[in-house]
Amino acid sequence: MADLSISFAGIKSPNPFWLASAPPTNSGAQVMRAFELGWGGAVWKTLGNPIVDTSSRFGSLDVGGQRMVGFNNIELITDRPLEVNLREIAEVKRRFPDRAVVVSLMVESKEDWRDIIKATVDTGCDGLELNFGCPHGMCERGMGSAVGQEPEVLKVVAGWAVEYSPIPVLIKLTPNVGDILEPGVAAVAAGVHGLSLINTIKSLIGVDLDRMVPYPVVGGRSTNGGYCGPAVKPIALHMVAALARDPRITVPISGIGGIATWRDAAEFIALGATSVQVCTAVMHYGFRIVEDMIEGLSNFLDAKGMKSVSELRGKALPAFTEWGDLDLNYKVVAEVDPETCIGCDLCYVACRDSAVSCIHVGDEPLAEGHRAPTRERAIAAARRDGRTAHVVWVDESECIGCNLCSAVCPVPGCITMKDVTGAPFESWNDRIAKGTAKVPGGLEDWRAARSGKR
Amino acid sequence: MATHETLIQLDRLERAFPDLKPLYGDGDAVAEANRCLYCHDAPCTAACPTGIDVPTFIRKIATGNARGAARVILSANLLGYSCARVCPVEVLCAGACVYNDWHRPPIQIGRLQRYAVEKAFDDGQAGTLFRRAPATGKKVACVGAGPASLSLAGYLALAGVDVTLFERRAIPGGLNTTGVAPYKMHVDGALREVDFVRSLGITIQEGVEVGSEVRAEDLARDFDAVFIGVGLGQDTSLGIPGEDGPGVYGATAWIERMKLEPGFAVLGVACGAVIGGGNTAIDAARELSRLSVPHVLMVYRRTAEEMPGFRHEMDAARREGVRLVEKAVPKEFIRQDGRLVGILLDDGRRIPADLAVVAIGQTRPRDLAAQFPGVEVDPGGRIVVDRATCRTGNPKIYAGGDAVRGGDLVVTAAQDGKRAARAICRALGVQIAVDAALNAGHQ
């Protein structure tokens, strides 16, 4: 069984699964229940000067009957007195000394940062996470994402924390920026010990079309919230990877954003994360999900012959490059398995309306000289159980290998992308270097043709 | 105008039967609709005799546009409500669903269709789903007010034709009203649909029999076209000793009494025997079983494999306790003191029975057909028509449904009505708008 333990900037954790600073980490009772079920760490719901919250606060994006594909909140930081939180943090750490207890903080003035850091460190917690990410409510007061969006301000405030804290300081970054490298590099320059991202994305989750008020409805009004959940994972993965591959980022990264399963976690770790943080999936299903995350990741590492989770870290990073470095001679074509095709023709209509019409149904003719290796099998497979199914086949001479058909196919494994590469590696950047990058048919040719007519 | 509340009583035996497939709530319907793959050129649509665009209506349910779903359904089939409830979807749309090839349960198309149409009926606005063309001055008469006639009449009314249906019973709807297995649909369901078609602007004259109260030649003279949609006639009898008398019923007559006759009951029956192997026979057997008759036997002259009834219906009947007696030809109904006690078969076997339902077919409408010059019947008594137009040998007279098919589905009768409506519009020079409901679905 693979070793799942990690050390994040010196913070030890029996596994990489931490709870993100959010409603599930609002109290000692919650965090202790989570630790009992196996969570490796928790980032306490942000401490600061207590606030007042609204009712309601959350909104869900549902897609095709699937609830909470995306999730939106307008909740602020902790609404509990500082003393109570500090006492419970100390109690949790005392009872679970092997777990990572990180405390999220958000205040405004230098003096406040000094005092809250001192008070928090005295609990015996393992680290601090500065909340420079919250994109709703707190940012209107000059905190949260208001800090994270200004690299110079971020650097100054982070510098105070590094100065006052004897324990590791993490910065939680906001994704509401043009280039995540700017705040990331500024934080590292300030001397912080780790980065966590992404915080939520500024959002309006939807509109109540009867009341004509966006969600979540607070009386007759609403406001923008922070967006999270499975739908934000691709954005988070990109930002984590963009930082992880940059040589200026020399500190560990805690990946956050739509992580619900061990597979999601493995992807973040493969792109450079050391720990991962989970919130929405817990809000949806409860703390119990960590059991499968631990077992699933362990089984995966065993199956891949990796002895520890650290072997997985960054494994997919070398393959993440610029577009200009991709192999233009790499070629795949779709192949539909006629025996498992159920004849829904979703690939057919997708290819016809959004790609190149290379998918054909039944005994449609094959163009002269084109290749369609599965056509005969498809025609045979279409006759089943006394009726005709719309089994499809691919004209490989027309297929551009875009993946759309395999994305829409409801049957797992029915459409595969077959490697038919026939030429050596050559990227766009290679072509620029060789001076062969011109693609005919552009404005230059148009101008030339026009001047020739004159 | 009579509405269904005034036509039926509450103490009908059929009300003891709950729906086998209950009405979906909003949440169930959307969840099931979201399972639908939204196939292109979908096999479910191809399998529907009327050509309802199934994936399109299901997607509308998924998006919360149930009214739009009802419009899509009813445009291709004005009787989409009863069809949703009585169609053998297992051998039609749902049987063609691509999920079957994936070894997964097919989409519950019938239940989704019922949900959409019933919602439209419930909001009271179903009559405004379609635009009605201006009056053309053309007049069409229908003989009978069953599914084929109602389908035809609704489409013609939308095209601006004045349609009058002459129904010999006091209650309209034909077999949908009198003959549907009550665990599929009750009488009030059928009458809701009649009310919907009526709201499109048709006239139904109940209790008027063509041939007695109204003469066939008057219809042929006074109307621009006549449609014969009378279905079938009386239950066929076996013609064996002991058949006349208490305890032996014709199947459709028995079902009609169970569905409509106030106070009708099935009490103290220990063994019910249904004679026949078609869908009416299976219906009657399932009904007896569901009425808690302890022993229900189906008595069929051939073997299970040769039964004309649907396999899925027979399987359901067996699951409900119905037993099949094969190669069983009744020779005599045995009576003691006038009371039915059993059936003697021609091979000497005796079957105990204190109730017998004879479901071996119904008579054909020869007599009515004979009243219209030029209308021919085939040797089986079915009215002969051109299938594409439903036109008989008399260019003014059309026919469809069971009178032509000799015992088929509601959905095929609905399609006959639609075909005949198109043909009548063409024959009378009635313009059909490009976006008219009459253009929807299969040709």
- Mark whether A285 and A348 lie in a shared domain: no
pLDDT computed for residue B2 by the predictor: 46
For the CA atoms of A305, A310, A315, A321, the dihedral, rounded to the nearest 10 degrees, stands at 180
| Two tokens, residue B3 | 């509405």
A125, A134, A409, A414: the active-site residue: A134
B310-335 residue pLDDT tens: 999 999 999 999 999 999 999 999 99
Residues of A in contact with B102 (CB under 8 A): 342, 410-411
CA max distance for chain A = 87
Which residue from B minimizes the CA distance to A383?
B101
Contact in structure between A2 and A303 (CB atoms under 8 Å): no
Contact in structure between A118 and A164 (CB atoms under 8 Å): yes
Scanning A41-80 for CB atoms below 8 A from B yields 64-65
CB atoms A348 and B40 under 8 Å: yes
Is residue A288 in some structural domain? yes
| Two tokens, residue B47 | 């399998």
| Two tokens, residue A93 | 């750490």
Report how far residue A22's alpha carbon sits from residue A134's, in angstroms, rounded to the nearest whole number: 11
Checking if the pLDDT of B88 tops 70, the result is: yes
What DSSP designation does B162 have? E
The percent helix, strand, coil of chain A (3-state, each to 5) is: 35, 20, 45
Considering its fold, how many domains does chain A have in total? 2
Checking if the pLDDT of A178 tops 90, the result is: yes
DSSP string, B306-324: G-SS-HHHHHHHHHTT-EE
Q: Does A342 touch chain B (CB under 8 A)?
A: yes
Is residue A293 in some structural domain? yes
- Mark whether A83 and A190 lie in a shared domain: yes
Helix (H) or strand (E) holding A256: strand A253-256
Q: Is A228 an annotated catalytic residue?
A: no
Between CA B45 and CA B56, with CA B50 as vertex, the angle to 5 degrees is 40
Is residue A324 in some structural domain? no
A67-109 residue pLDDT tens: 999 999 999 999 999 999 999 999 999 999 999 999 999 999 9
CB atoms A65 and B98 under 8 Å: no
Per-residue 3-state assignment (H helix, E strand, C coil) for A17-81: EEECCCHHHCCHHHHHHHHHHCCCEEEEEEECCCCCCCCCCEEEEEECCEEEEEEEECCCCCCCC
User: Euclidean distance between the first and final Cα of chain B, in Å?
Assistant: 34
Residues of A in contact with B39 (CB under 8 A): 343-346, 390
A328-360 residue pLDDT tens: 999 999 999 999 999 999 999 999 999 999 999
B63-84 residue pLDDT tens: 999 999 999 999 999 999 999 9
Nearest to A346 among B31, B39, B62 (CB): B39
Is residue A15 in some structural domain? yes
Residues of B in contact with A361 (CB under 8 A): 41
- Mark whether A273 and A392 lie in a shared domain: no
**3-state class (DSSP) for residue A188:** helix
pLDDT computed for residue B6 by the predictor: 64
Is residue A434 in some structural domain? no
CB atoms A342 and B43 under 8 Å: no
CB atoms B37 and A344 under 8 Å: yes
The arithmetic mean of pLDDT across residues A217-243, rounded, is: 97
B18-58 residue pLDDT tens: 999 999 999 999 999 999 999 999 999 999 999 999 999 99
Is residue A319 in some structural domain? no
Which residue from B minimizes the CA distance to A340?
B102
Helix (H) or strand (E) holding A228: strand A225-228
- Mark whether A291 and A361 lie in a shared domain: no
- pLDDT confidence tier of residue B395, bands split at 50, 70 and 90: very high
> Which domains, and CATH codes, for chain B?
4-128 (1.10.1060.10), 139-233+364-438 (3.50.50.60), 248-358 (3.50.50.60)
- Mark whether A234 and A354 lie in a shared domain: no
Nearest to B98 among A64, A344, A361 (CB): A344
pLDDT computed for residue B7 by the predictor: 73
Report how far residue B55's alpha carbon sits from residue B34's, in angstroms, rounded to the nearest whole number: 11
- Mark whether A290 and A350 lie in a shared domain: no
Checking if the pLDDT of A422 tops 70, the result is: yes
CB atoms A389 and B98 under 8 Å: yes
- How many contacts (CB atoms, under 8 Å) link A and B? 41
Q: Does B29 touch chain A (CB under 8 A)?
A: no
Q: How many helices (H) and strands (E) does chain B have?
A: 18, 13
Q: For A18-27, A257-266, B5-14, which range has the lowest pLDDT when averaged over its residues?
A: B5-14
Is residue A453 in some structural domain? no
**Sheet arrangement for strand B355-358:** B248-250, B355-358, B271-275, B295-299, B323-325
- If one counts every other C-beta atom within 10 angstroms of the C-beta of residue A84, the result is 13
Contact in structure between A42 and A18 (CB atoms under 8 Å): yes
Average pLDDT of the residues of chain B: 96
Number of Cα atoms under 13 Å in the Cβ half of residue A237:
20
Q: Which amino acid is at B99?
A: Y
Number of Cα atoms under 13 Å in the Cβ half of residue B302:
9
Report how far residue B170's alpha carbon sits from residue A13's, in angstroms, rounded to the nearest whole number: 81
| Two tokens, residue A452 | 């020739």
CA nearest to A399, candidates A351, A366, A435, A353: A351
Nearest to A346 among B37, B96, B99 (CB): B37
- pLDDT confidence tier of residue B3, bands split at 50, 70 and 90: low
Host domain of residue A87: 6-312
- Mark whether A119 and A26 lie in a shared domain: yes
What DSSP designation does A440 have? S
State CA A156 to chain mean position distance.
Answer: 28
CB atoms A344 and B39 under 8 Å: yes
Sign (positive or negative) of CA dihedral B375, B377, B383, B388: negative
Checking if the pLDDT of A261 tops 60, the result is: yes
Q: Which amino acid is at A108?
A: E
Residues of A in contact with B34 (CB under 8 A): 64-65
Checking if the pLDDT of B4 tops 80, the result is: no
- Mark whether A141 and A28 lie in a shared domain: yes
Beta bridge partners of B205: B166
| Two tokens, residue A179 | 């280039």
Determine which of A342, A360, A384 to mutate to test the interface with B (most B C-beta atoms within 10 Å). Answer: A342
CB atoms A342 and B30 under 8 Å: no
The arithmetic mean of pLDDT across residues B242-246, rounded, is: 96
- Mark whether A91 and A191 lie in a shared domain: yes
The arithmetic mean of pLDDT across residues B145-173, rounded, is: 98
Helix (H) or strand (E) holding A147: helix A145-148
What DSSP designation does A221 have? B
Nearest to B101 among A342, A346, A349 (CB): A342
Checking if the pLDDT of A454 tops 80, the result is: no
> What CATH code is carried by the domain that includes residue A55?
3.20.20.70
> What CATH code is carried by the domain that includes residue A377?
3.30.70.20
**Min CA distance, B31 vs chain A (Å)?**
6
Which residue from B minimizes the CA distance to A382?
B101
Report how far residue B371's alpha carbon sits from residue B366's, in angstroms, rounded to the nearest whole number: 9
Checking if the pLDDT of B1 tops 50, the result is: no
- Mark whether A249 and A190 lie in a shared domain: yes
CB atoms B34 and A64 under 8 Å: yes
For the CA atoms of B116, B118, B120, B125, the dihedral, rounded to the nearest 10 degrees, stands at 170
Determine which of B56, B61, B98, B112 to mutate to test the interface with A (most A C-beta atoms within 10 Å). Answer: B98
Q: Does B370 touch chain A (CB under 8 A)?
A: no
Confidence (pTM): 0.92
Is residue A231 in some structural domain? yes
Determine which of B102, B107, B112 to mutate to test the interface with A (most A C-beta atoms within 10 Å). Answer: B102
Question: Tokens 């979703």 correspond to what residue?
Answer: A346
| Two tokens, residue A195 | 């980065």
CB atoms A342 and B99 under 8 Å: yes
CB atoms B37 and A348 under 8 Å: no
Q: Does B16 touch chain A (CB under 8 A)?
A: no
pLDDT computed for residue A452 by the predictor: 77
- Mark whether A211 and A305 lie in a shared domain: yes
In B25-161, at which residue ranges do the beta strands (DSSP E only) sit? 139-143
Which residue from A minimizes the CA distance to B40?
A345
- Mark whether A38 and A149 lie in a shared domain: yes
